[in-house]
């Protein structure tokens, strides 16, 4: 390893040690009963399994990138994605590309902080909920249309489609390169007190929604009072009793510690949630073409594997919250909710008709 890269790597390691020590007293939610994390890659120098020209980087003289996540807790979906992508890239490159993992909000606090940090080149790789990306590029609103996807099979078919790649390419104009998308799961309504069994039950309920115009319009159509806030603010709002409900996947509800306060969860399936595996364009433009190709190909594989895992993991956390947290899950007549937001569905499907039609065409049941 040349002297310059050795010094850079040493400084990065020292910075990480300093940050970890400084965060040693954080109040991360307990991760009891969580399934085991993915196994680490084997140690030692490996061959470049990709067969790509990585621009002279090798296991003895690697390219070092920083991957950040604002998730809290070992099983946070963003944290798991960060670790999984790092491991997969290391293995595919034979150790020639190393992604240092900075999880638990060490370097970034929320979605906006992550995305804008990528735009500025403050770090190299980050994970963003696509709903928040609608604040930077309108076309991503199509993914937030209520009841867009007709089940997990439809979401997986979309992730393997040309339209997904088309949407990935749209983000580059913002100064961030999206490598691929990962399904976190379908979102439910999580209530502190009375369960939401029909849309009429939203009357007088103040619900936190993700920072997306489509989500705000959806829940106003349901009849709720809405407040948009960053994910990092939700736990405090629940603790202080300033909101009556929030909506999200079972993974997020449990790993974020929210299930301590929201004991009535309704299976509304009102939207599918995706995460983008993103790279700062400032970093991207400095990478050899072979490294760019390796990152793209690996992100697609990691994203699909994690999406399949998340489908099962959401049901795992439903069971954990039922058995260990005293949370009640309620089946609802989804058609009542779908009918109530038909106008929202129609408005946004017309606004993004070309992408909408392509996404609907990926449904295996169509």
**What per-residue confidence (pLDDT) applies to 345?**
98
> Which residue intervals of the chain bear CATH 3.40.190.170?
52-141+150-182+274-316, 188-272+320-361
Residue 256 pLDDT grade (very low, low, confident, very high; cuts 50, 70, 90)? confident
pLDDT in tens, 91-104: 999 999 999 999 99
Query: Does the domain made of 188-272+320-361 have the CATH classification 3.40.190.170?
Result: yes
Half-sphere exposure of 217 (CA within 13 A, CB side): 15
**What per-residue confidence (pLDDT) applies to 46?**
57
Half-sphere exposure of 264 (CA within 13 A, CB side): 11
List the one residue out of 64, 69, 63 whose CA is nearest residue 84. Answer: 69
List the one residue out of 195, 188, 230 whose CA is nearest residue 317. Answer: 188
Note the CATH number of domain 52-141+150-182+274-316: 3.40.190.170
pLDDT in tens, 187-206: 999 999 999 999 999 999 99
| Number of Cβ within a 10 Å radius of residue 116 | 16
User: Rounded to two decimals, what is the model's pTM?
Assistant: 0.85
% pLDDT > 70, the chain: 87
| pLDDT higher than threshold 50 for residue 3 | no
| pLDDT higher than threshold 60 for residue 157 | yes
Residues 61 and 7: beta-carbon distance below 8 Å: no
**What per-residue confidence (pLDDT) applies to 336?**
98
**What per-residue confidence (pLDDT) applies to 36?**
32
| Residue written as token pair 């950040």 | 68
pLDDT in tens, 27-72: 333 332 333 333 333 343 456 877 899 999 999 999 999 999 999 8
Higher pLDDT: 112 or 21? It is 112
What is the β-pairing status of strands 188-191 and 245-248?
Answer: antiparallel
**What per-residue confidence (pLDDT) applies to 366?**
84
The stretch 271-276 carries a mean pLDDT of 97
**What per-residue confidence (pLDDT) applies to 49?**
75
């Amino acid at each position: 390893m040349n002297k310059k890269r050795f010094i850079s790597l040493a400084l990065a390691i020292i910075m990480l040690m300093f940050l970890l020590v400084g965060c040693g007293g954080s109040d991360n939610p307990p991760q009891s009963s969580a399934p085991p994390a993915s196994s680490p890659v084997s140690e030692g120098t490996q061959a470049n399994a990709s067969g790509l020209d990585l621009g002279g980087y090798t296991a003895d003289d690697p390219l070092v990138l920083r991957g950040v996540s604002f998730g809290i807790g070992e099983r946070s979906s963003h944290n798991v994605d960060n670790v999984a992508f790092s491991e997969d890239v290391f293995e595919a490159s034979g150790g020639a590309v190393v992604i240092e993992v900075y999880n638990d909000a060490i370097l970034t606090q929320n979605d906006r902080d992550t995305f804008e940090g990528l735009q500025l080149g403050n770090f190299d790789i980050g994970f963003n909920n696509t709903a928040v990306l609608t604040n930077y590029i309108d076309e991503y609103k199509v993914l937030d249309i209520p009841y867009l996807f007709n089940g997990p099979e439809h979401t997986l078919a979309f992730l393997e489609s040309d339209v997904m790649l088309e949407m990935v390419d749209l983000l580059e104009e913002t100064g961030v390169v999206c490598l691929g998308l990962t399904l976190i799961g379908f979102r439910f309504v999580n209530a502190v007190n009375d369960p939401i069994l029909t849309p009429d039950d939203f009357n007088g309920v103040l619900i936190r929604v993700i920072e997306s115009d489509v989500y705000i319009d959806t829940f106003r159509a349901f009849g709720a009072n809405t407040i948009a806030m960053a994910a990092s603010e939700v736990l405090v709002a629940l603790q202080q009793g300033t909101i009556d409900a929030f909506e999200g996947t079972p993974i997020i509800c449990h790993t974020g510690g929210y299930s301590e306060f929201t004991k009535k969860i309704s299976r509304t399936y009102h939207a599918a949630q995706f995460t983008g595996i993103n790279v700062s364009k400032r970093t991207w433009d400095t990478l050899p073409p072979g490294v760019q190709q390796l990152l793209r190909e690996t992100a697609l594989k990691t994203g699909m594997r994690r999406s399949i895992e998340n489908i099962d993991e959401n049901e795992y956390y439903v069971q954990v919250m039922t058995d260990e947290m005293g949370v009640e899950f309620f089946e609802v007549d989804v058609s009542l909710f779908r009918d109530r937001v038909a106008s929202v569905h129609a408005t946004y499907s017309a606004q993004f008709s070309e992408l909408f039609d392509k996404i609907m065409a990926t449904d295996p049941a169509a």
